[in-house]
Structure 1
Amino acid sequence: MEQSHTVEALLTALRAAGEGTRFRILSLLGEAELSVKDLTAILGQSQPRISRHLKLLADAALIDRFPEGAWVFYRLTEAGPGRRLVTDLLSATDRSDLVLARDRERLALTKQEHAEAAHSYFAANAEEWDTIRALHVAEDVVEAAVAEALGSQSFDSLLDLGTGTGRMLELLHPLYSRAVGIDASPDMLAVARANLDRAGITNAQVRLGDIYNLPLTRESFDLVVVHQVLHFLDDPERALAEAARILRPGGRLLIVDFAPHDMEFLREDHAHRRLGFDRDQVGQWIGAAGLALESAVALPGGKTDTLTVTLWLARDERMVIAGGEGREVA
């Protein structure tokens, strides 16, 4: 049964949305997730004024806020009556309205600035990333293996842990209805946002988060991907247990990482905490998290001195059984 506003909540939401600047904010957040700084630049108003408008919209459950270091990003609320109300209001709006059209022009300039900043960060770190990529099988081979492991059947929701540049969000975009990427680096999140924007992907978002303590509810995603992340962690098993907590019954967990190796310089120069993982070791962690290992595929490099990439695919074997007005988990 769909949730509906109480009369009092509906009036509060309409009062929040029914003011010029706040409606412009909703229109902009319908195009992209933005910070207070972004909105201040686009709307030409002071930070305290914009912050006040954002608070009223958030209190009315029309937008969500996500702290990211010293910044806070805002986006339209994801679901519920608030999202339906905003969607209806925006769909009834004339997009050729001069004020809103001008706001979108300024938004485009802001996005361009974000993309340029992301490009600069990426360029500054490109040599390090190129060094790692040169040590293992080509990325397109890994991505083809990821696609083969997951198949072509669409699903509702994807969670990408340690999303980095957001590449998995781009690669799997044809399959999911919504996606969230989590990363601990604001710089990498800026790169991911720019990449998603460039690719025209609007049903994926990225957030700052702790992989050991995800800001997400239990059993909320159909697929969790952990791509080249575990080797940076002190406690990979704990991270996988947290990933399993997020999986819905029948959901899948895909892990991509290196097999054991002796390239000590990766630990010293590139912050790798672990020098790869044994197939059975990851399998044990998967079992301890309450999941069943379905497959483990090794992708050796083309040379004897290159790294082997392994893909582990696991599943939550609980089945969802429809019954009565609710659902039971078997």
Structure 2
Amino acid sequence: MAEQGTFSMETGLAALRAVGEETRLRLVALLAKSELTVKDATAILGQSQPRISRHLKLLAEAQLIKRYPEGSWVYYRLSEGAEGAFARDLVARLSEHDEVLIADQARFEALRKAKAEEAATYFASKAQTWDQERSLHAADHEVEEAMLRALGDADFRSFLDLGTGTGRLLELLSSRYETALGIDASHDMLAVARANLARNGLSKAQVRHGDIYALSVPPRSFDVVAVHQVLHFLDEPARALAEAARALRPGGRLLIIDFAPHGLEFLRDEHAHRRLGFAHEQMQRWLEGLDLELEQVTDLAPTAQETQKLTVTLWLARDQRVITDMPVVDPNREVA
């Protein structure tokens, strides 16, 4: 068996042959930045879908990339093993001034911006009725009770709610925290959240417009971070989890609430879902990659009669760094 980080000569030759073509090298460079679908790659590279599919198939056969089917879509990303490390190292050695790669990156950014704007438009149109649209899964009170059980009875100092929406979690956990911050990308959602906080007199909580991929909060400043029904809207959920983990204090906990894998394709078109749920194994890999220990997994499954309802899963993970007498950081302080 090959040592960790190495591969056989046969595998190495296959990898070299796979990247020894312009389109495939461009694809590898894009996948080093983000996972993509065939539709994404077709739009960026301006080539036909069959041609892109063939190139991706060759890269997958060389074990440089992995394919992850999700409903009728397939996401591609670089492999995690030695082959993936080889691909990342190769991309890192490409000139940042290469005109072809610069153009590809510009089209990639434009595509990502368009998707973000599409989601923002959807959220803006639904801001006033968002809470009423969660009828596809277990009742809200059941999910909230499961969240409270997962977090336990002990109070904590600071709470961060990513994708806060109407600010419901800020209200739900208000007896547990000293200070709280909710972040959302939708100004319309934040307007609703602010009204709800004011109505409930929650002066110790505030909300802020922000990017879940680039949080403007100090690192290691929150005892609990929640990501409630947000990840399935994102193109890069792992990237958002990395930001959430960065905000955790040593010993802090990350609570994720989202859907288990399902096949309700209409949620893509009608509700702007990017992901059709997350498997236990996938979430565990992401969390372990962030040095977080998965402590608890809870599935809230529908009854046999509720055929159109989804299973909601709660994942609770803990930052395993040792808690020291580190200075207290104001978690609400915005950083550049």
Bin for the TM-score computed over the shorter chain = 0.5 to 0.7
Check the 8 A contact 1:178/1:204 in 2, yes or no. yes
SS of structure 2 residue aligned to 1:216: coil
Asked if structure 1 preserves the Cα contact closer than 8 Å seen for 2:147 and 2:314, the reply is yes
Secondary structure of the residue that 2:153 maps to in structure 1?
coil
Cα shift readout 1:49-96 (whole Å, capped 9, x = no counterpart): xxxxxxxxxxxxxxxxxxxxxxxxxxxxxxxxxxxxxxxxxxxxxxxx
Task: Tell me what 2:230 maps to.
Answer: 229
Between the aligned partners of 1:161 and 1:172, the Cα distance in structure 2 is 14
Task: Describe the superposition over 1:249-276 as per-residue Cα deviations: whole angstroms up to 9, x where unpaired.
Answer: 0000000000001111110111000011
Residues 180-232 of structure 1 show CA distances to partners (whole Å, capped at 9, x for unaligned) of 00000000000000001111100000000000000011101000000000000
CA distance in 2, matches of 1:263, 1:123: 20
1:159–1:225: 8 Å Cα contact kept in structure 2?
yes
For the residues of structure 1 that align with 2:207 and 2:324, how far apart are their CA atoms?
32
| Cα distance in 2 between the residues matched to 1:165 and 1:122 | 14
| Alignment partner of 1:253 is 2:249 | no
1:315 corresponds in structure 2 to: 318
CA distance in 1, matches of 2:288, 2:127: 40
Q: Which amino acid aligns with 2:225?
A: V
Give the match for residue 304 of structure 1: 307
Q: CA deviation at 1:283?
A: 1.0
Distance 2:127 2:225 in 1: 29
| Partner secondary structure for residue 178 of structure 1 | strand
- Given the alignment of the two structures, is residue 141 of structure 1 paired with residue 149 of structure 2, yes or no? no
- Kindly tell me: are residues 262 and 249 of structure 1, through their superposed partners in 2, closer, same or farther at Cα, counting changes over 3 Å? same
Distance 1:175 1:237 in 2: 28
1:279: how far off? 1.1
Task: Quickly say closer, same or farther: Cα 1:192–1:122, change in 2 above 3 A.
Answer: farther
Which amino acid in the other structure matches residue 305 of structure 1?
Q
> Equivalent residue of 1:192, what SS?
helix
Determine if the alignment matches structure 1 residue 206 to structure 2 residue 175: no
Q: What TM-score, normalized to structure 1?
A: 0.59
Q: Which runs of 5+ in 2 are unaligned?
A: 1-123, 329-336
Deviation at 1:245, TM superposition (A): 0.4
Contact 1:232–1:272 (8 Å) recurs in 2 = yes
1:93-132, Cα deviation, whole Å (9 max, x unpaired): xxxxxxxxxxxxxxxxxxxxxxxxxxxx898752x653x4
Letter in 2 for 1:134: S
SS in 1 for 2:217: coil
Q: Which has the higher contact order (CA 8 A, sep 6+)?
A: 2
Compute the displacement of 1:280 (Å). 1.2
- Considering only aligned residues, what root-mean-square deviation do their CA atoms show, in Å? 1.9
Corresponding residue number in structure 1 for 2:265: 264
Q: CA, structure 1 residues 278+194, in 2 after alignment: closer, same or farther (shift >3 Å)?
A: same
Tell me how far 1:292 sits from its aligned partner: 0.6
Report the Cα offset of residue 301 of structure 1. Answer: 1.8
Q: Does 1:166 align with 2:167?
A: yes
CA distance in 2, matches of 1:293, 1:232: 23
Using the alignment, how far apart are the partners of 1:318 and 1:211 within structure 2? 23
- Classify the secondary structure of the residue corresponding to 2:224: strand
Residue 35 of structure 1 aligns with which residue? none
Q: Is the 8 A contact 1:160 1:225 kept in 2?
A: yes
SS across alignment from 2:254: strand
Return the letter of the residue paired with 1:308. T
Percent identity between the aligned chains? 59
Q: What pairs with 1:53-202 in structure 2 (closer than 5 Å)? A: 125-126=128-129, 130=132, 132-202=133-203
How far does the alpha carbon of each residue in 1:12-66 deviate from its partner, in whole angstroms, 9 at most, with x for none? xxxxxxxxxxxxxxxxxxxxxxxxxxxxxxxxxxxxxxxxxxxxxxxxxxxxxxx
Structure 1 gaps, min length 5: 1-120
Supply the AA of the counterpart residue of 2:307.
T
Query: Partner of 2:291: helix, strand, or coil?
Result: coil
Question: Which amino acid counterpart does residue 155 of structure 2 have in structure 1?
Answer: S
* Alpha carbons 1:122, 1:191 under 8 Å: kept: no
- Provide the C-alpha distance between the structure 2 equivalents of 1:223 and 1:206, rounded to a whole number of angstroms: 16
Instruction: Indicate how the Cα distance of structure 1 residues 123 and 321 shifts in structure 2: closer, same or farther if over 3 A, else same.
Output: closer
> Residue 165 of structure 1 aligns to which amino acid in structure 2?
T
Q: Deviations over 1:122-169 (max 9, x none)?
A: 98752x653x42211100000000000001101100000000000000
Distance 1:321 1:231 in 2: 35
Counterpart amino acid of residue 183 in structure 1: D
Amino acid of the structure 2 residue aligned with 1:309: V
